[in-house]
Structure 1
């Protein structure tokens, strides 16, 4: 799943998004974690992360250059570089920087999560799933539900619906009220013809978050399958009014329900 020391997301986003300098000198390899230069690198990286969240890529890159100048062994800066380059479709630079972040800290599960999502979105499903698995083997990883959800989406892209469902359910068990995971699981159930469970999950999503183009489009197709034309029309009306420029609204207008 976007976005961010995160991924999906990105996300959810993913994880849900990040550069250029990838070769750190050996003179700072043993620099103390709490040194002034490390603190400056962290501060600049935090700023870059914030600018990335607002899609201000140029400013984010400027902050990352400052971070690397302060401490070119600070792995999280390369992670954000990778996210930015991923958003810019600079795949070679994105991969170089994700790999550099992991090289500097093999236990950086967030970098592995982001790299895994990058690989999955480029059709390298098995490599991506391996990165998620490695991230999840770290007992200190603070956001395992994110890697589990991304692994579920990656497995679905690969066509392994059983693995996709298993990972999404694990993620939801750790974070039961995550609307992004709920809607992804609802969509997976819909694809498998489990309409009652889809309806339940869609209802739960509605309790937790405002409707999205994705949830409304799923509602349209679900109610169409269930034969409730009134509810189908209600979902469709909301989709056209709230998200008129979305891909989902275009599919609705074109009658592309499958």
Structure 2
């Protein structure tokens, strides 16, 4: 998930469920109840970018069950996509109030708040998302939380969150590895920083992940400190060519003066 502009962008993953509907919009015998079917249909429209029909489907779901949190979540995501932030926030709050134990709803709301630069509030929601040990996107939630803590200068909490992301992930978290490498560099722990970065490079070398601006900048700093100047120069060239407008490239230029 996501890789340039990693500091300011969250990717909210929606799990889309294909449902069986008859031509008149009623559920098939294999579907759940009607309100669930309409909500799932709304997410299909949302995935396709059809916000008008998405809103119709979610509203129809709420007509059938007024307290259905997933439909409110769908409307929140729809209005977020349309750029109507106040309505998006209102519906996120309705969804989380109706289903306060839902990790997915708190993660979505936290991602929305993060995207608006409201980091203190975002961290609260994202922390709630990590509490459910059975949440299938828990590793992503911990990673999101770590990035949120970084924006409110809570590096110790961020470090813990990134470590937890690695612990609960079955496939590894390349971004968490880079962030932990960066934090350890700032703390003067070169050995740990290098170990995390080597683990990240395994993803790059196996073509499972690509370098982005921050990973290159971290690589430059590690290479300098380990006297691998050729590698530092190679990373710097890639950073200049691919991410010339990035904050990391500006930091590199300042460091080279």
TM-score normalized with structure 2 length: 0.72
Q: Give structure 1 stretches of 5+ with no counterpart.
A: 3-8, 18-32, 52-58
> Aligned-pair distance for 1:92?
2.0
- Structure 1 distance, partners of 2:140, 2:223, is 30
Displacement after TM superposition at 1:172 (Å) = 0.6
Deviation of 1:250 after TM superposition, in Å, equals: 4.6
- Specify the alignment match of 2:183 in structure 1: 188
Following the alignment from structure 2 to structure 1, what is the Cα–Cα distance between the partners of residues 52 and 7?
23
Residue 235 of structure 1 deviates from its aligned partner by: 0.6
Residue pair 2:77, 2:88 contacting (<8 A) in 1 also = yes
2:239 paired with 1:239: yes
Q: Secondary structure at the residue paired with 1:137?
A: coil
Taking structure 1 as reference, are residues 159 and 10 closer, same or farther at Cα in structure 2, changes over 3 Å only? closer
Deviation at 1:206, TM superposition (A): 1.8
Distance 1:77 1:245 in 2: 42
Change (3 A) 1:132 1:42: same
The Cα shift of 1:123 comes to 4.8
Q: 1:122–1:40: structure 2 CA closer, same or farther, 3 Å change rule?
A: closer
Q: Calculate the TM-score normalised by the size of structure 1.
A: 0.72
**Which stretch of the first structure deviates more once superposed, 99-108 or 166-175?**
99-108
Pairs within 5 Å for 1:191-230: 191-208=186-203, 209-230=209-230
> Quick check: 1:61 aligned with 2:51?
yes
Distance 1:203 1:138, change over 3 A: closer
| Alpha-carbon distance in structure 2 between the residues aligned to 1:138 and 1:122 | 25
Distance 1:41 1:213, change over 3 A: same
Residues 145, 170 of structure 1: 8 Å contact kept: yes
Q: 3-state DSSP class of the match of 1:71?
A: helix
- What is aligned with 1:130? 124
**C-alpha contact (below 8 Å) 1:155/1:164 kept by paired residues:** yes
Determine the C-alpha separation between the residues in 2 that align with 1:181 and 1:12.
15
Instruction: Give the SS at the match of 1:101.
Output: helix
CA drift at 1:120: 4.0
8 A contact 1:41–1:66 mirrored in 2 = no
- The 1-side partners of 2:42 and 2:71 are apart by 8
User: 2:103·2:130 contact (CA, 8 Å) conserved in 1?
Assistant: yes
Which of 135, 141, 162 is 2:156 aligned to?
Answer: 162
Distance in 2, matches of 1:190 and 1:106, equals 38
Distance 2:248 2:148 in 1: 25
Alignment of 1:100 with 2:90, yes or no, is no
**In structure 2, how many angstroms separate the alpha carbons of the residues matched to 1:116 and 1:178?**
20
Closer, same or farther: CA 158–130 of 1 in aligned 2, 3 Å = same
Q: Residues 213 and 246 of structure 1 are in contact (CA less than 8 Å); yes or no, is this contact kept in structure 2?
A: no
Q: Distance in 2 between matches of 1:42 and 1:163?
A: 36
Determine if contact 2:9/2:115 at 8 Å carries over to the other structure: no
For the pair shown, the structure with the greater C-alpha radius of gyration is 2
> Unmatched 5+ residue regions in structure 2?
15-30, 204-208
Q: Bigger relative contact order, structure 1 or 2, given CA contacts below 8 A and separation 6+? A: 1
